[in-house]
Structure 1
Amino acid sequence: MATELAALPYRHVLTVPTMPSAVRIARETAEQALAEWGISRRHPAIDPALLILSELVTNNVRHAAVASPQTTVIYAASQDTFAFGVHDRHPYQPALYGAAVNAGGGGLATVVELTLGLSGTAVVRGDADGGGKSIWITLPL
């Protein structure tokens, strides 16, 4: 699926401290944004999307907090697409698709498995200065 972020008319940006409460806040913000955009909470892709989001923010809290005191989540959608990026300033860029093959059900393996199961895409995009990255998930609705 090759949906460009610029083509998605609905957007919201959340920046929170990289601490455990960020997971709940990111998830609640997604639910609120989806409701405001008229996307049903009952859509079959929404629960897996919220699980993916929770896992990515949890990974930031566990692995990036020292280098990245803030986590930013960018939400974007249209009536047929939901995309979100979770950004931190830790320079490590994980190999998402290697995680799915090599991990025994770990967090990134779950993210990739759920994303692919929904016919979505997952990509890591490094910051221009090499000091951070975003993990982007795009899911059809």
Structure 2
Amino acid sequence: MPSAVRVARETAELALAEWGISAAVRHPVTDPALLILSELVTNSVRHASALSSQITIMYAASRDTFAFGVHDRHPYQPPLYGAMTGGGSGLATVVQLTLELAGTAGVRQDADGGGKSIWVTLPL
């Protein structure tokens, strides 16, 4: 459902606040991270929903890192860094923002090959 994007952003903001990352003063990584997350969830809703009725979002943080992954059960694994040459796509935005923030992004295939997670790790 399209509301998944809003729910994902709100959940990420709550997690960041709980971890003290964007509590009193909004951390500079927060807004770009939320945009990256929104793009990944939007892609899953648009492109994977035919084969994957559920999206799972995982969040993790440490003192100097915020990481999140968006998982669906569609087997297609998009070439993240190839998206930069295509221009104008949501994945191009994901990769560009991730690189600008000195982060990393990667696609991890499920063990059975029937789905994947796209993980983004950003330094704080």
Shorter-normalised TM-score: what interval? over 0.9
Q: Of residues 30, 33, 39 in structure 2, which corresponds to 1:46?
A: 30
| Superposed displacement of residue 117, structure 1 | 0.3
CA distance in 1 between partners of 2:9 and 2:63 (Å): 19
Question: Is 1:121 equivalent to 2:96 in the alignment?
Answer: no
Q: Of residues 17, 20, 28 in structure 2, which corresponds to 1:35?
A: 17
| Superposed displacement of residue 71, structure 1 | 0.2
* Gap regions ≥5 residues in structure 1: 1-18
CA distance in 2 between partners of 1:79 and 1:50 (Å): 18
User: What is the root-mean-square deviation in Å for CA atoms of aligned residues?
Assistant: 0.7
| Superposed displacement of residue 105, structure 1 | 2.1
| Superposed displacement of residue 138, structure 1 | 0.1
* TM-score, length-scaled by structure 1: 0.85
Indicate the percent of aligned positions where both proteins have the same amino acid.
80
Instruction: State the match for 1:137 in structure 2.
Output: 120
Instruction: State the match for 1:80 in structure 2.
Output: 64
* Gap regions ≥5 residues in structure 2: none
| Superposed displacement of residue 104, structure 1 | 1.8
- Name which structure has the greater RCO, CA cutoff 8 Å, separation 6+: 1
The amino acid of 1:22's aligned partner reads: A
Q: Of residues 94, 97, 100 in structure 2, which corresponds to 1:111?
A: 94
4+ residue segments displaced more than 4 Å: none
Instruction: State the match for 2:55 in structure 1.
Output: 71
More strand by share: 1
